[in-house]
Amino acid sequence: ETGVTQTPRHLVMGMTNKKSLKCEQHLGHNAMYWYKQSAKKPLELMFVYNFKEQTENNSVPSRFSPECPNSSHLFLHLHTLQPEDSALYLCASSRVGDVAKNIQYFGAGTRLSVL
Amino acid sequence: DQQVKQNSPSLSVQEGRISILNCDYTNSMFDYFLWYKKYPAEGPTFLISISSIKDKNEDGRFTVFLNKSAKHLSLHIVPSQPGDSAVYFCAASVADSNYQLIWGAGTKLIIKP
- The residue ranges of chain B whose pLDDT is under 70 are 95-99
- Position B98 scores a pLDDT of 62
By a Cβ cutoff of 8 Å, what residues of chain B touch chain A? 2, 4, 9, 31-32, 34, 41-46, 49, 51, 89, 91, 93, 95-106
Three-class DSSP category at A57: strand
- Position B96 scores a pLDDT of 66
- Position B110 scores a pLDDT of 98
pLDDT category of residue A86 using cuts at 50, 70 and 90: very high
Task: Determine which of A38, A102, A106 to mutate to test the interface with B (most B C-beta atoms within 10 Å).
Answer: A102
* Residues of chain B found within 8 Å of residue A4, distances taken between Cβ atoms: 43
Is B103 within 8 Å of A43 when comparing Cβ atoms?
Answer: yes
- Position A102 scores a pLDDT of 73
Nearest to A100 among B44, B93, B106 (CB): B93
Q: How many CB pairs under 8 A join A and B?
A: 73
How many Å lie between the alpha carbon of A76 and the closest alpha carbon of chain B? Answer: 17
- Position A52 scores a pLDDT of 72
Closest CA to A94 of A76, A71, A111: A71
* Residues of chain A found within 8 Å of residue B97, distances taken between Cβ atoms: 99
**Mind giving me the DSSP string for A3-32?**
SEEEE-SEEEE-TT-EEEEEEEE-S--SEE
Name the closest residue on chain A to residue B105, using Cα atoms: A42
Cα–Cα dist B16/B53, whole Å: 31
